[in-house]
C-alpha cells in the first residue's frame, strides 16, 4: 500500500501500467485505486470483508492488489481457469461479498450465481467482449467514476492481519485458502525485487497470472521500485515478443511450459532477448529450456516456492564459478534448487519424509527441494 | 545474523572480507564470528550485556557487527576520533563490560582506564603497532584461537531487542545513545542494499567509518547479498584509488568532504571510476562535488539520514527526465533531498519548526529536509 503511495509521490508521471498501448501513470494509478477503494465502500465493503476478482492480467486486476488492502478489506484473486463449481466453492468458503469479473467470463458467473448467495454485488470489467446484460451490477469504469476517490487509504490495521487469500490449485482436493499478511507480503515483495534485480527503470511484463500465489507478490514488488507493469490478457507468443521489443521489457516471470511455448513459436527465430531477466518456477525447468532461452540472450533465475510461502522463496543462487561454465553445464546447475532468498537468511527448514532436518548447504538443499516438489 | 549464516551457506568460498590483500571467505568469516561469540562468553558476556569496540575499519570491527548480536549481546561501536573523556562517558553510560581496541589507540585507553570501572576485560587488536604491554588482556587473534567456535549463534531473543547502541557525535552536548533493534537493522540494511543496488558480485570499500550510525547498516547489507567487504584502516586517497582499481570496487559510501579529498588528490588525474556507485551523506554535497566525481565515471547516490534513523533513509531518487539533463543540471538536482527509501514507503513524516506536516512531494520534501539539516 505504502509502496504505491511512495511511487505516486516520487514518480507521479512515470508509467505505472501499460495495456494495449494505454499508459496509466503512478499518479493516476494511485487515484484509480483510491476511487476503487471508495467504490468498494459504496457497496458496503468494510475492513475485514472479502472481495473476489475473476479477471485476467488486466489493469483492473493490478488495481485490485491495492484497493481492498487500502481499506483493510481482503483480496481473493480467483484462478480464471477453474470450473464454475470450484469458483463457487471458493467464493462461499472465503465469504466474499463482491465479485468483480471480466465480461469474457460471464458464462462462468451465470453458472455459479445461484450457488453464491453471499455475493451482494457483481461488477463487470469490459475489455474484449460486451457486457452481459443479464447480470445486474455496475461496469467497472462507471463504478469508479461514480465515486469520489478516498483522500487517504488507511490500509490494514495490523501487519499481521489477513490482507489477501490465495487459493491453492486444488491438485490435492478442494482448493485451500492461504492467508497473506501485510508483513509477509511486504517481505516477499522486497525479496522478489532483490532476487530478480528490479529498480525504477524496470519494465515488467505480466506473463505470470496475478491469481497464482498473488502474482508471486510482483504487483507489490514492481510498484515498490516504481517500475512499469505491462498488462497482458493472455500469453500469446507473438504478442509477448512484440511487447518485449516495443515496451523494452526488462523482467518477466513464467512457468517453464510458458518458456517452451515462447521458444517454440515462429517469432523465436528472429527474437533478441538481450537485457531480459526471466524468473521461472512452478515446475523444474529442463536444462534444455534454460539453455535455449539463455541462448536467445535472456538471463534465467530459477526459483521455487508455494502458495503457502507467498510464492517463490528459494533460488538457484548464482555462484562465482558459473561464469566459467559452458552453457550446457550452466543450464544443468541452474535447473537445480536452491537456497533461501536473501531476505529470508536461513529462515527456512528443510526436512525429509520423517521430518528430520536435512543439512543446509547449496548442494543438499537443491536435491531435497527438488525431491519434495509435486 | 541470519544474513551471515545465509552467505556462509550459499557462498562459503567467496571473499567476504579483504584487508591488506588477505582474503577471508564467508565460510571462514562465519567461523571467526562464532569464535568471537565464544570468546565473549568466555569473559562473562551474556545476552543483554554491552560490548564496546574502539577499532577502525579493520576485519575485527566487521566481525564485531555479528558476534555480540550472535549471543544476544549489544555492540557499542566507538568513534575513534573522540577524546578519552568522551569515550569514557560512553563506556560508562552504555555499561559496557568489554572493550576491544586497536593497539594504535592504546594511549586513549590508558587515559580512560581509571574512569571506567565497569570494563572487566580489555582486548587488543594488533595491526600496525605492537601491543601495549601495560594494558592487561588478551590479543584479539589469540582470544579467538583460545576457544572453540559456537556451533550455533542463537541471536537476539526478539526482533525488538536492543542489538547495537550508536552514540551520536555529541555536537549538541554529550553523545546520546541510539538503540538499534534487529528489526530496524534488518529493514535498513535491505533498504541500503536496494537503493545502492548491491548484489552478490558487489565489492564494497569501507571508506565510511563503521562507528558512524553503524556504518549505515552496510556491515549487514553487504553481507546479506554475499558481497565482498574491503576493509581500510584510514582514508588515504592513493590507497583508495589503488583498492578501487585492484579489488574492482563497485560501491562505497563517503561524506562529501571525503569525496573532495579524493578528487583533489594527484591520483585523480589518471583515475577511472567507471562502474563505481558512491552513496554520499553526512552533509549536503555541493553540485561541484557531484559533477566532478561523476565526471570521473562514478555514479553518485545522494542520501540523508541520522544516527536515529539507522543511517540514511531518504534519497534523491533518480527521475526519468534526468537522463536528458546536462551534467550541470544533473549535479544540481542530485544535490537536493529527498524522498523515503523504497522500503519505507511513505513512512516518514516531515514537519516544520512548529511540528506542522509539510506536503509530501519530491520538491518540497527536498527543501525541508535540507533546511532541517544541522
pLDDT band at B353 (very low <50, low <70, confident <90, very high): low
Quote the pLDDT of residue A349.
65
The more confidently predicted of residues A360 and B225 is: B225
Strands B74-77 and B164-167: parallel
Q: Which residues of chain B lie closer than 8 angstroms to A336, CB-CB?
A: none
Q: Which residues of chain B lie closer than 8 angstroms to A347, CB-CB?
A: 2
Quote the pLDDT of residue A168.
87
DSSP strand E in chain B: where?
15-19, 22-25, 50-54, 74-77, 96-102, 121-125, 164-167, 177-180, 203-205, 228-230, 251-254, 277-280, 299-306, 311-315, 339-340
Least confident of B99-108, B145-154, B155-164, B330-339: B330-339
Integer Cα distance of B160 and A159 in angstroms: 15
Average pLDDT of span B115-130: 97
Residues in chain B: 374
Quote the pLDDT of residue A210.
98
Domain B235-372 has CATH 3.40.50.12780: yes
pLDDT at B373 over 60: no
What rounded mean pLDDT belongs to chain A?
92
Domain A27-180 has CATH 1.10.260.40: no
What rounded mean pLDDT belongs to chain B?
92
pLDDT at B173 over 80: no
pLDDT at B139 over 90: yes
When CB atoms are compared, the residue of A1, A13, A347 closest to B2 is A347
Q: List pLDDT tens digits, range A102-147.
A: 999 999 999 999 999 999 999 999 999 999 999 999 999 999 999 9
pLDDT band at A175 (very low <50, low <70, confident <90, very high): confident
The more confidently predicted of residues A344 and B54 is: B54
Interface of A with B (CB under 8 A): 1-3, 5-6, 9-14, 190, 193-194, 197, 199-200, 224-226, 317-320, 339-340, 342-347, 360-362
CA distances from B297 to B198, B294, B342 (A): 18, 5, 26
pLDDT at B174 over 90: no
* A–B CB contacts, 8 A cutoff, strictly below: 88
Task: Render B204-221 in DSSP notation, one character per residue.
Answer: EE--S-TTSHHHHTHHHH
Q: Which residues of chain B lie closer than 8 angstroms to A13, CB-CB?
A: 320
All cell numbers assigned to B68:
555480540
Contact status, residue B195 vs residue B281, Cβ threshold 8 Å: no
Instruction: HSE, CB side, 13 Å, CA atoms: give it for residue A183.
Output: 7
Interface of B with A (CB under 8 A): 1-3, 5-6, 9-14, 190, 193-194, 197, 199-200, 224-226, 317-320, 339-340, 342-347, 360-362
Integer Cα distance of A200 and A228 in angstroms: 8
Task: Find, in chain B, the residue whose alpha carbon is nearest to that of A4.
Answer: B345
Q: Nearest CA to B305 among B192, B229, B174?
A: B192
For residue A24, the cross-strand partners are A17
Strands B277-280 and B299-306: parallel
Quote the pLDDT of residue A283.
87
Q: Give the burial string for B88-127 (b: 16+ CB within 10 Å, else e).
A: bbbbebbebbbbbbbbbbbebbeebbeebeebebbbbbbb
pLDDT band at A162 (very low <50, low <70, confident <90, very high): very high
Average pLDDT of span B37-55: 98
Quote the pLDDT of residue A360.
47
pLDDT at A358 over 90: no
pLDDT at B357 over 70: no
Integer Cα distance of B66 and B3 in angstroms: 10
Indicate yes or no: CB of B345 within 8 angstroms of CB of A1: yes
pLDDT at A370 over 60: no
Q: Which residues of chain A lie closer than 8 angstroms to B9, CB-CB?
A: 339, 346, 360-362
pLDDT band at A367 (very low <50, low <70, confident <90, very high): very low
pLDDT at A301 over 70: yes
Q: List pLDDT tens digits, range B234-252.
A: 999 999 999 999 999 999 9
DSSP strand E in chain A: where?
15-19, 22-25, 50-54, 74-77, 96-102, 121-125, 164-167, 177-180, 203-205, 228-230, 251-254, 277-280, 299-306, 311-315, 339-340
All cell numbers assigned to A360:
543446509
Indicate yes or no: CB of B6 within 8 angstroms of CB of A197: no
Domain residue extents for chain A: 27-180, 235-372
ipTM, 2 decimals?
A: 0.88
Quote the pLDDT of residue B365.
40
Q: Which residues of chain A lie closer than 8 angstroms to B223, CB-CB?
A: none
Strands A121-125 and A96-102: parallel
Quote the pLDDT of residue B369.
37
Q: List pLDDT tens digits, range A227-251.
A: 999 999 999 999 999 999 999 999 9
Integer Cα distance of B207 and B204 in angstroms: 9
Neighbour-count burial of A316, counting CB atoms closer than 10 A to its CB (0-12 exposed, 13-18 middle, 19+ buried): buried
pLDDT band at B338 (very low <50, low <70, confident <90, very high): confident
Least confident of A152-161, A346-355, B83-92: A346-355
pLDDT at A362 over 50: no
Contact status, residue B296 vs residue B267, Cβ threshold 8 Å: no
User: Quick one: what percent of chain A has pLDDT higher than 90?
Assistant: 85
When CB atoms are compared, the residue of B5, B200, B361 closest to A346 is B5
Quote the pLDDT of residue A368.
37
The torsion of the CA quartet B236, B242, B243, B248, rounded to 10 degrees, works out to 150
pLDDT band at A174 (very low <50, low <70, confident <90, very high): confident
Which residues touch A86 (CB under 8 Å, ≥6 apart)? A170, A174, A175
Q: Which residues of chain B lie closer than 8 angstroms to A361, CB-CB?
A: 9, 12
- The answer to whether domain A27-180 and domain A235-372 are alike in fold is yes
Contact status, residue B341 vs residue B314, Cβ threshold 8 Å: yes
When CB atoms are compared, the residue of A12, A197, A225 closest to B199 is A197
Least confident of A115-119, B120-124, B345-349: B345-349
pLDDT band at B367 (very low <50, low <70, confident <90, very high): very low
Quote the pLDDT of residue A308.
87
Quote the pLDDT of residue A282.
85
Indicate yes or no: CB of A194 within 8 angstroms of CB of B225: yes
All cell numbers assigned to B47:
545476552
Average pLDDT of span B2-7: 94
pLDDT band at B371 (very low <50, low <70, confident <90, very high): very low
Least confident of A198-212, A267-281, B51-65, B157-171: B157-171
Quote the pLDDT of residue A79.
96
Q: Which residues of chain A lie closer than 8 angstroms to B6, CB-CB?
A: 339-340, 342, 344-346
Quote the pLDDT of residue A191.
96
Q: List pLDDT tens digits, range A40-79.
A: 999 999 999 999 999 999 999 999 999 999 999 999 999 9
When CB atoms are compared, the residue of A9, A193, A346 closest to B361 is A9
Amino acid at each position: 500500500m505504502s509502496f504505491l503511495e511512495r511511487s505516486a509521490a516520487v514518480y507521479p508521471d512515470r508509467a505505472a501500467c501499460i495495456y494495449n498501448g494505454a499508459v496509466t501513470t503512478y499518479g493516476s494509478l494511485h487515484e484509480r485505486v483510491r476511487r476503487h477503494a471508495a467504490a468498494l465502500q459504496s457497496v458496503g465493503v468494510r475492513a475485514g470483508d472479502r472481495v473476489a476478482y475473476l479477471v485476467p492480467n488486466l489493469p483492473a486486476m493490478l488495481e485490485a492488489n491495492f484497493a481492498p488492502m487500502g481499506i483493510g478489506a481482503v483480496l481473493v484473486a480467483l484462478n480464471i481457469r477453474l470450473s464454475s463449481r470450484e469458483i463457487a466453492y471458493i467464493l462461499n468458503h472465503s465469504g466474499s461479498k463482491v465479485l468483480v469479473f471480466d465480461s469474457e467470463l460471464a458464462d462462468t458467473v451465470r453458472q455459479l450465481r445461484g450457488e453464491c448467495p453471499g455475493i451482494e454485488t457483481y461488477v463487470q470489467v469490459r475489455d474484449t467482449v460486451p457486457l452481459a446484460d443479464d447480470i445486474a451490477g455496475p461496469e467497472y469504469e462507471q463504478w469508479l467514476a461514480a465515486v469520489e476517490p478516498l483522500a487517504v487509504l488507511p490500509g490494514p490495521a495490523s501487519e499481521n492481519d489477513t490482507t489477501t487469500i490465495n487459493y491453492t490449485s486444488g491438485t490435492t482436493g478442494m482448493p485451500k485458502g492461504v492467508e497473506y499478511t501485510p508483513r509477509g507480503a511486504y517481505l516477499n515483495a522486497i525479496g522478489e525485487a532483490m532476487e530478480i534485480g528490479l529498480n525504477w527503470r524496470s519494465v515488467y511484463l505480466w506473463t505470470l497470472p496475478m491469481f497464482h500465489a498473488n502474482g508471486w507478490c510482483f504487483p507489490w514488488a514492481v510498484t515498490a521500485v516504481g517500475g512499469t507493469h505491462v498488462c497482458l490478457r493472455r500469453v500469446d507468443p507473438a504478442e509477448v515478443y512484440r511487447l518485449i521489443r516495443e515496451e523494452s521489457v526488462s523482467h518477466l516471470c513464467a512457468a517453464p511450459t510458458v518458456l517452451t511455448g515462447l521458444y517454440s513459436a515462429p517469432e523465436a527465430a528472429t527474437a533478441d532477448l538481450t537485457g531480459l531477466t526471466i524468473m521461472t518456477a512452478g515446475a523444474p525447468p529442463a536444462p534444455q529450456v534454460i539453455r535455449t532461452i539463455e541462448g536467445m540472450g535472456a538471463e534465467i533465475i530459477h526459483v521455487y516456492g508455494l502458495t503457502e510461502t507467498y510464492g517463490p522463496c528459494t533460488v538457484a543462487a548464482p555462484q562465482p564459478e558459473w561464469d566459467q561454465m559452458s552453457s550446457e553445464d550452466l543450464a544443468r546447475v541452474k535447473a537445480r534448487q536452491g537456497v533461501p532468498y536473501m531476505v529470508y537468511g536461513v529462515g527456512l527448514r528443510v526436512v525429509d519424509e520423517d521430518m528430520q532436518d536435512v543439512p543446509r548447504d547449496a548442494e543438499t538443499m537443491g536435491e531435497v527441494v527438488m525431491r519434495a516438489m509435486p
